[in-house]
Amino acid sequence: MALKKSLILFLMLALMLLVLGCFEASLGQETKAMRFQRQHIDSNNFPNGNATYCNVMMVCRNMTWGRCKEINTFVHEPLSAVEAICSEKNRTCIKGMKNCYQSRYPMSITVCRLRRGSRHPNCTYTTSPIIQQHITVACAGVPYVPVHFES
Ligand SMILES: *[C@@H]1O[C@H](CO)[C@@H](O)[C@H](O)[C@H]1NC(C)=O
Ligand SMILES: *[C@@H]1O[C@H](CO)[C@@H](O)[C@H](O)[C@H]1NC(C)=O
Ligand SMILES: *[C@@H]1O[C@H](CO)[C@@H](O)[C@H](O)[C@H]1NC(C)=O
Ligand SMILES: *[C@@H]1O[C@H](CO)[C@@H](O)[C@H](O)[C@H]1NC(C)=O
């Protein structure tokens, strides 16, 4: 009975997130590559001037669970273009690792910053206008794909 209820709740939540069109619920363990995509890839939206974009996206990409993530960047480019950065020339990461790569071309990004005074669970964000910027990611694994957004 309780199980059935929580299953229904889970399905409703999954449906809601799908309707919002911003979160692909996945079963099983999330890999670092999947985590990177959830947190940083939003190929289909171009939210220029949409002030509520970050408030919506930070929730539906599950970055306000337990605590409000302070800052997060969304990249509005095809996943393949972002993955291709891993075949650029490497550069040293901020923390000293050698597996960082900067995009050869500027990419369209939106930066979400937690508003001062915003308290969990009410995580409210400022949404930057779309910025065209070279981005740097760290890559790992087989296939060799982005696993961390550096800057
Ligand atoms: C703003 O962005 C959010 C998240 O992508 C979306 O749900 C909403 O419809 C957008 N609002 C406008 C006015 O485009
Ligand atoms: C959101 O993230 C938390 C951990 O940060 C996890 O426990 C939870 O299952 C995630 N929720 C969804 C809907 O994926
Ligand atoms: C690029 O990677 C190679 C091999 O891991 C390493 O020797 C080199 O120092 C790296 N270059 C930079 C700028 O980090
Ligand atoms: C979150 O914000 C809503 C609307 O502003 C408010 O009604 C609610 O009390 C707030 N919750 C907390 C825990 O601050």
Express each pLDDT in 46-96 by its tens digit: 998 899 999 999 999 999 999 999 999 999 999 999 999 999 999 999 999
Give dist(CA 107, CA 111) in Å, integer.
12
Class of domain 32-84+105-136: alpha beta
Mean pLDDT of the residues in the chain:
88
For residue 29, which amino acid is it? Q
Nearest ligand to the CA atom of 96:
3
Beta carbon of 60 within 6 Å of any ligand 1 atom: no
Q: What is the pLDDT of residue 84?
A: 98
CB atoms within 10 A of CB 94: 10
- Range with lowest mean pLDDT among 1-10, 26-35, 66-75, 135-144: 1-10
Q: Which residues are catalytic?
A: 40, 148
| 67 alpha carbon, closest ligand | 2
Enumerate the domain spans of the chain. Answer: 32-84+105-136
**Residue 138 to residue 35: CA distance in whole angstroms:** 13
Which of 64, 120, 122, 124 for mutating ligand 4's site (highest number of atoms within 8 Å of CB)? 122
Query: Does the pLDDT value for residue 44 go beyond 80?
Result: yes
pLDDT in tens, 105-121: 999 999 999 999 999 99
Percent of residues, the chain, with pLDDT higher than 90 = 79
Instruction: Indicate whether this model's pTM tops 0.75.
Output: yes
Residue 28 binned pLDDT confidence (cut-offs 50, 70, 90): confident
Residue 21 has pLDDT above 50, yes or no: yes
CA distance 134 to 103: 5
